[in-house]
Amino acid sequence: MGKKWLLAISLGAALISGQVSAEDKLRIGTEGAYAPYNFMNDQGKLAGFEIDLGNELCKRTQMTCEFVVNEWDSIIPNLLAGNYDAIMAGMSITDERKKSITFSEEYKPVDPSLYAAKKDTQLDFDKLEGKNIGVQGATIQATFVQDKWAAKNTIKAYEKPDQSLADLMAGTVDAVLADGEFIRTAVEGSNGELVVIGPSEMIGGGIGIGMRPDDAKLHEKLNAALAEMKKDGSLDELIKTYFKVGPFYKK
């Protein structure tokens, strides 16, 4: 009887230890293909604004970060399936996404979406007809161009954002719409081959961390850490490093 009691205590302690260990690790799903938010650097390692931010949030919440690279179109389903605990992938906070996941407070304000085209391309955005417009599938930009331009133009959706840029360079599409910072980064790295063209489009809300709706404790911890970073100015500093804009949160 005594041995069974001691065994039960040992098993209980092991289970508690396992739970604490799991709580101390934060698995973050990201795409690794959306510079400067997240990308693979020359050494083949994840880098970018959200990687640095995620590591800082883990430090402040005393958790260990583990980044998981996941394709964009399945990034929410795999969060809900438990393959990671949070999404940091340049994801805009929208009412549609709130139907299945919850978001932290924003960690970057909404950025206007921009169009990119090859140099010397002429497009009349007041009456755009017969053109091919590229977007990454399952994004707020994909929904926007479908609603605004699909009636008289062809919309081509891509699994990865760099695929849309490759087709733009090849002349397969006439323009690509994406998050403004992604477009600006692509234009700057194109050796003058690409330009920003047409109007800026205000789509969606700010960028936030996606989580499962039942992870209230994690939601609270990450929001508290974000609030600290906004208050002490470190979030503004990080945004300034990658986007050359701000400050937004401490003025």
| pLDDT score recorded for residue 115 | 98
Residue 9: inside a domain:
no
Stretches in the chain below the pLDDT threshold 50: 1-21
The verdict on 121 and 93 lying in the same domain is no
The verdict on 39 and 64 lying in the same domain is yes
Q: What is the distance between the alpha carbons of residues 50 and 89, in angstroms, rounded to a whole number?
A: 7
| pLDDT score recorded for residue 23 | 62
| pLDDT score recorded for residue 22 | 54
The verdict on 195 and 217 lying in the same domain is no
- Structural domain for 23, as ranges: 17-109+206-243
| pLDDT score recorded for residue 251 | 77
**Any residues with CB less than 8 A from the CB of 89 and at least 6 apart, and which?**
29, 30, 31, 34, 37, 38, 50, 72, 75
| pLDDT score recorded for residue 204 | 86
The verdict on 65 and 186 lying in the same domain is no
The verdict on 228 and 174 lying in the same domain is no
Count structural domains, the chain: 2
The verdict on 37 and 66 lying in the same domain is yes
